[in-house]
């Protein structure tokens, strides 16, 4: 929503250094890393984003069509063991998209519009889970409609946008693998101001 409270502006355009080494999980996911890496590197932000993903059942998934144009779909996400996962009915167009090109973004359901708890987004690469034992464990835990497809969501970025307690600006927090959380304050009439640990802006 350009210009709106959930617009993360120039922060979304920033790029962090690539992470991972050959043969690592990050390398297998094209530089994307499992959720547990996010939780290890940025536990407070990961906890807040997790809360938003679990606060509602339905979210919005962005994928790429065959011609490269965007597609948005309703989706459910969940945590299976240490991983953020996405399930789909077998052969759904979003699953076909992810099989062809794993790049995705998920925008968490914003709830009642108050942005209480923040407006959360994650992006990265989806990797289909094919291991029979892992799929059986997921069926036992989640009891999905069958047949289904399951994707592990590896992350390249997470963003949380939150109204500040003073009601006069919003706080944007961004994370990339291997980099510290970047925090910006955005005011209605001023360019974004980067914050550091000595200049905190508490979440609302």
Q: Model confidence over 32-65: pLDDT tens digits?
A: 999 999 999 999 999 999 999 999 999 999 999 9
Examine the pLDDT at 100 and tell me if it is beyond 90. Answer: yes
Going by pLDDT thresholds of 50, 70 and 90, the confidence category of residue 29 is: low
Cα–Cα distance list, 109 to 52, 119, 184 (Å): 7, 8, 22
pLDDT at 54: 95
Going by pLDDT thresholds of 50, 70 and 90, the confidence category of residue 197 is: low
Say which DSSP state 130 is in. -
pTM of the model: 0.80
95 or 168, greater pLDDT: 95
pLDDT at 204: 53
Instruction: Give the contacts of 67 (CB within 8 A, at least 6 positions apart).
Output: none
Instruction: Give the contacts of 198 (CB within 8 A, at least 6 positions apart).
Output: none
Beta bridge partners of 103: 125
Instruction: Give the contacts of 75 (CB within 8 A, at least 6 positions apart).
Output: 58, 59, 60, 61, 86, 88, 94, 106
Q: Which domains does the chain have, with CATH numbers?
A: 20-156 (2.30.110.10)
* DSSP SS3 for 79: strand
């Amino acid at each position: 929503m350009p210009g709106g409270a959930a617009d993360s502006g120039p922060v979304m355009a920033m790029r962090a250094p690539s992470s991972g080494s050959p043969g690592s999980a990050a390398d297998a996911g094209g530089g994307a890393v499992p959720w547990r890496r996010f939780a290890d590197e940025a536990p407070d932000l990961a906890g807040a984003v997790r809360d938003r993903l679990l606060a509602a059942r339905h979210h919005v998934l962005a994928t790429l069509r065959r011609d490269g144009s965007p597609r948005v779909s309703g989706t459910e996400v969940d945590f299976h063991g240490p991983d953020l996962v996405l399930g789909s009915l077998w052969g759904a167009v979003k699953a076909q998209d992810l099989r062809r090109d794993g790049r995705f973004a998920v925008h968490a359901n914003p709830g009642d519009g108050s942005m209480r708890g923040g407006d959360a987004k994650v992006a990265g690469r989806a990797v289909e889970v094919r291991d029979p034992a892992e799929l059986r464990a997921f069926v036992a835990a989640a009891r999905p409609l069958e047949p289904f497809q399951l994707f592990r969501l590896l992350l390249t970025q997470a963003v949380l946008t939150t109204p500040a307690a003073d009601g006069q600006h919003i706080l944007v927090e961004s994370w990339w693998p291997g980099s510290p959380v970047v925090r910006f304050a955005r005011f209605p009439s001023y360019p974004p101001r980067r914050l550091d640990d000595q200049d905190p802006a508490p979440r609302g």
